[in-house]
Structure 1
Amino acid sequence: MQRVTIGLKAGLFALVSLCATNTALAAPTKVKVFVASMFEIGANTGDRAGEFQYWYERYWQKSAPHEVRGALKPVYCNDDGVCGSVLGMGKVNSSSSIQAILLDPDYDFSEAYFVLTGVAGTPPSRGTIGDVSWGTWLVDYDLGHRWAPEEGKPGEPVFIPRKGYESYRLFQLNPVLVNWAVKLSAGVNLKDSEAAQKYRQRYPDARANAAPSVQTGTHMTGDTFFHGPGLSKEAQYIAKLYGADDYVITEMEAAAITLVIKRQFGTDRIMSLRGAVNFDQGNPNETTQQHLDPAPGQTAGGFAETVENIELVGARVVDHIVADWPQWQKGVPALPAK
């Protein structure tokens, strides 16, 4: 009888131990920083780099892909809690992917910071090829009413916002976090190219002719690839109409992704990081159609350098947050006194 009792106790102990082990194995990954790119050109490494490749090569070459139901591409995580994925281009594509990832029980995003990153366009009066920009505001280019210019008074705007979208057409990103990002990325040696330098000379604007630098301003989200001075002016008008900073970046995803994150975790830990690979309009000697469909050899240079610049700038912030996690875990710390 004693042997039976001892055997029973041993079996129960083994069962409890197994359950504890399975529970430990099932614990979700605590995400410290999530890097969201929108597209990759080919493989994650070893070929022409798109938006994800430099991030992947820095953080996840030794990480196994994790398939998430409903997401476009796998999620990768390293042992430091830095995770990332390619979400897809456009509002619907990217927001559906981030929703699936945030709801995956294998991850805990409750304390995560988000870097929404990719390439973009810029008005030549506000930026240049190779610039890297931290978004201060995210504005949805749509969610309103538009009409043909000939149907209104000459020179007047052809857009008015639609009522009912006030809470998700405009997001101010955490100013303290933006200032941290600017501070940490100051002094990064940004890449440039001879092709980009030559292309800039087609534009008379001082900013368009400048060397690449780290900037801040409003990122305008729209599925439409709007081009030309008229629509660029309209984007600036919308930014000012909403009380945001100057429009400096045109992109396709950030406002939509931010809305998804906001509904679960708020916006205090979101960063929008974009690199300018094109101008949002042609130079004075070409039409908008010529700018959209350039002749062979007439495209803007600097794409390869810009995607590298994005990672060089963003990694400064990611690495700092992870290295000083006790200070960042519960929220964005105050900036140190100057």
Structure 2
Amino acid sequence: MRLMLWTCCVVLLLLELSAGHADARAVRGWNRGSTQGQLPHTVTAEYMRNTYPLSRTGLSSDLTQGSFSGILLKSRSVIESIFAVRPKVVVVSMFGLEADAWLDQFTPSLYARNITVPGLSPVFPQVHCTAKADVCQITTGEGEINAAATMTAFFISDKFDLRETYFFIAGVGGISPERGTLGSAVFARYAVQVAQQYALDRNDAPPEWNYTYWNYNTKEPDQYPLATYGTEVFKLNTALVERVYNVSKTEAEHKLNDSAEAQAYRSRFPNAPANEKPKVILGDVTTSDLYFTGVTLSSQFDHVVTTLTNGSATYTTTAQEDNATLEALVRAQRAGKADYSRAIVLRTGSDFERAPPGLSEYDAFEFAQGGFGPASANIYIAGLPVVQDILRNWDAIYHRGIAPPPSGFYGDIWQTLSYPPGQAPPL
């Protein structure tokens, strides 16, 4: 590989010399309209022209200045960019046990290539990939800041080309007994950042208020915010979500893991779907660094989801990272580094976020509900068919992408993807 790299550097140098120190127009025209002499990984001259034009590397100025070492270093940088890893799917985990669901089971091994990327979590400094690097796995660390920092470092790394990559966020989360049950696999259409609000302690709030959180620039709970930070709501590509949901439901629902402990705890709830076996369902996810529990906060944030999406989203699962990851992805798309329409979010129910009859909210939180084991297992059971579908149908469907619906809200709450890079959306 090193010999190939330096050989390509020399080729680039000769091309630059033959161009008479010009702006690499000869290289930009090389091989146009021909299939002969293509670079590995189908990286053609057209690809080079669009992505890595030599005029951006400063090779000509180095030649003029006679800096041969500078030429070689910058040529090597260009070649390393061309040979960047180009995964078809990246599984995004948040902590070690979620990552292990894939690292311990996926075949071929995700430990074939372990790529250290500067800026990733100090606890999880590597991206793990198969030998072909068609599937990779990254662990962000828990919480919004860790997720945003890790994914931003990933997107700007020159070790990866992620413009055609599908990002499969797959982890455990709390689940509402009104919408699902322990072990259920939930594919999200919306992610809602529910704690981005004002708050008062119950003892300090007006006595007539049902809830103690209220949106920015409003006067009481359940009013739509008159000021937003841009990360409160994300809508995913629902055409993609529907496809992967149907694939998972068909191929995985009958295989979902369960436990006797989870079954016993479910039986404490009098109504479906809480007391039913786990299923693959559609539902939406909340993001909050606050690890909330109990019927009061859960009901409150259910209302926030309804308010922020005008009733379009269905509060189902709770998590701590997804809006942060999706915001990084929106910015990466605007920077030409990734494609937001290729994001998928799966959360599996590890615990109920409120108590069944007969238990206090605190006792329910501390209770061994039995859901974490099945939820961890079901990340892989429900997620594997999605990865396999992407790989199996790459040429026919996924390579070109699945277009989001042509109308309606899409992306972040500011809809910044509707505006060209460098243009701020009207707020």
Letter in 2 for 1:325: W
**8 A contact 1:135–1:217 mirrored in 2:** yes
Q: Which has the larger radius of gyration?
A: 2
**8 A contact 2:92–2:137 mirrored in 1:** yes
| Mapping for residues 251-266 of structure 1, pairs under 5 Å | 251-265=319-333
Tell me, in whole angstroms, the C-alpha distance in 2 between the residues paired with 1:129 and 1:34: 26
Tell me, in whole angstroms, the C-alpha distance in 2 between the residues paired with 1:204 and 1:15: 69
> Is 1:331 the equivalent of 2:401?
yes
| Segment drifting more, 219-228 vs 238-247 | 238-247
> Is 1:169 the equivalent of 2:232?
yes
After TM superposition, the score normalised by the length of structure 2 is: 0.68
Deviation digits for residues 268-295 of structure 1, max 9, x if unmatched?
111110110100012221222222334x
| Mapping for residues 202-213 of structure 1, pairs under 5 Å | 202-213=268-279
Instruction: Give 1:164 shift.
Output: 3.4
| Mapping for residues 287-302 of structure 1, pairs under 5 Å | 287-294=360-367, 299-302=368-371
The higher-RCO structure (CA 8 Å, 6+ apart) is 1
Instruction: Give 1:224 shift.
Output: 0.8
**8 A contact 1:80–1:322 mirrored in 2:** no
Structure 1 alignment gaps of length 5 or more:
1-12, 41-49
Structure-2 residue corresponding to 1:197: 263
**8 A contact 1:131–1:306 mirrored in 2:** yes
Over 4 Å off, 4+ runs: 17-26
Closer, same or farther: CA 80–66 of 1 in aligned 2, 3 Å:
closer
Instruction: Give 1:95 shift.
Output: 1.2
Secondary structure of 2:328's aligned partner? helix
Residue 16 (structure 1) aligned to one of 10, 17, 20? 10
Tell me, in whole angstroms, the C-alpha distance in 2 between the residues paired with 1:303 and 1:220: 18
Tell me, in whole angstroms, the C-alpha distance in 1 between the residues paired with 2:12 and 2:260: 62
Secondary structure of 2:158's aligned partner? coil
> Is 1:58 the equivalent of 2:52?
no
Structure-2 residue corresponding to 1:310: 379
**8 A contact 2:285–2:319 mirrored in 1:** yes
Tell me, in whole angstroms, the C-alpha distance in 2 between the residues paired with 1:256 and 1:15: 39
Report % sequence identity.
Answer: 26
Tell me, in whole angstroms, the C-alpha distance in 2 between the residues paired with 1:102 and 1:14: 25
Instruction: Give 1:182 shift.
Output: 1.2
Tell me, in whole angstroms, the C-alpha distance in 2 between the residues paired with 1:152 and 1:233: 18
Tell me, in whole angstroms, the C-alpha distance in 1 between the residues paired with 2:214 and 2:282: 26
The structure in which a higher percent of residues are strand is: 1
Instruction: Give 1:333 shift.
Output: 5.9
Structure-2 residue corresponding to 1:236: 302
- Alignment RMSD, CA only? 2.3
Structure 2 alignment gaps of length 5 or more:
1-6, 14-38, 41-75, 217-225, 334-338, 406-427
Instruction: Give 1:62 shift.
Output: 4.2
After TM superposition, the score normalised by the length of structure 1 is: 0.85
Closer, same or farther: CA 106–154 of 1 in aligned 2, 3 Å:
same
**8 A contact 1:221–1:252 mirrored in 2:** yes
Tell me, in whole angstroms, the C-alpha distance in 2 between the residues paired with 1:66 and 1:108: 13
